[in-house]
Amino acid sequence: MAAVTPVVNLDLTGRTALVTGAGSGIGRACARRLAAAGAAVLALDRDKAAAEAVAAETGGQAVALDLADPDAPHQVAAEVDVLVNNAGFQHVSAVEQFPPERFAGLHQVMVHAPFLLIRRVLPHMYARGWGRIVNISSVHGLRASPYKSGYVSAKHALEGLSKTVALEAAPHGVTCNCVNPAYVRTALVENQIADQAATHGIAPDEVVERIMLARAAVKRLVEPEEVAELVAYLCTPPASFITGSAITMDGGWTAH
């Protein structure tokens, strides 16, 4: 397993954690972190090889499914104690050119699939009287940016879903929260740099400094392991009072 330096003291022995989009970036870091805490990890990704690689290094199980398929969540094990809804992607385009099927696809993967997965695993969590749902939202769940109508609207919807589930699940010992990072150093961001450069008509190396870091007071990208550590904290006993929250890790972006 790749080096993990756990900061938060967390023991998930005997718990099963399902992480979507576990093959790369934040999802992979969460899978590693939760496995390091003792959880049996279900690494779900549409990229079968990536899911298998993460499953192999964490001693978990690969779940090769594409969450763009509305039937996929029904094929996942329902006996899950920690659910990390992380799978997502980006599309950068002006609203008037935004392909409607791309807009629907963003909502399918980033809102409908989390809803279906939450719906599937809650009965098991309720039966055990304990559960943790962490939705990897974004600063774009709280703030908009131009050219990201599909992503921003999907993440805002995820925030509403998360808060509603938090209210319903609280009496059962289940918390549900969003984590809201600014730009994280992952493939999703690397791919976006070229798209943003073309859309804004600037050089790729200017994108990070002039666009991605413009609103953050801390002028660096977030590391996936930092997000995973926050996810781990939300699974600890002292975090049982944190629910229905949107926890920013945005270098001060939303302080504006």
Closest CA to 134 of 40, 227, 215: 227
| Contact predicate 199/147, CB 8 Å | yes
Task: Select which of 147, 151, 183, 233 is catalytic.
Answer: 151
Q: Enumerate binding residues for ligand NAD (CB under 6 A).
A: 21, 23-27, 45-47, 50, 66-68, 86-89, 109, 136, 138, 181, 183-184, 186-189
- Least separation in angstroms between CB 184 and ligand NAD: 4
- Least separation in angstroms between CB 203 and ligand NAD: 20
What is the length of the chain?
A: 256
Which residue number has the CB closest to ligand NAD?
25
Tokens 């055990």 found at = 128
* Long-range Cβ contact pairs of 157-160 (< 8 A, separation 24 or more): 157/107, 157/110, 157/111, 158/85, 158/110, 158/111, 158/114, 159/246
86 vs 245, beta carbon nearer ligand NAD: 86
36 vs 62, beta carbon nearer ligand NAD: 62
178 vs 235, beta carbon nearer ligand NAD: 178
- Least separation in angstroms between CB 241 and ligand NAD: 24
| Contact predicate 92/147, CB 8 Å | yes
The beta-strand segments (E) located in the chain are 16-20, 40-45, 61-64, 82-85, 131-136, 174-181, 246-249
Is 126 marked active-site? no
- Least separation in angstroms between CB 225 and ligand NAD: 12
52 vs 66, beta carbon nearer ligand NAD: 66
Active site residues: 151
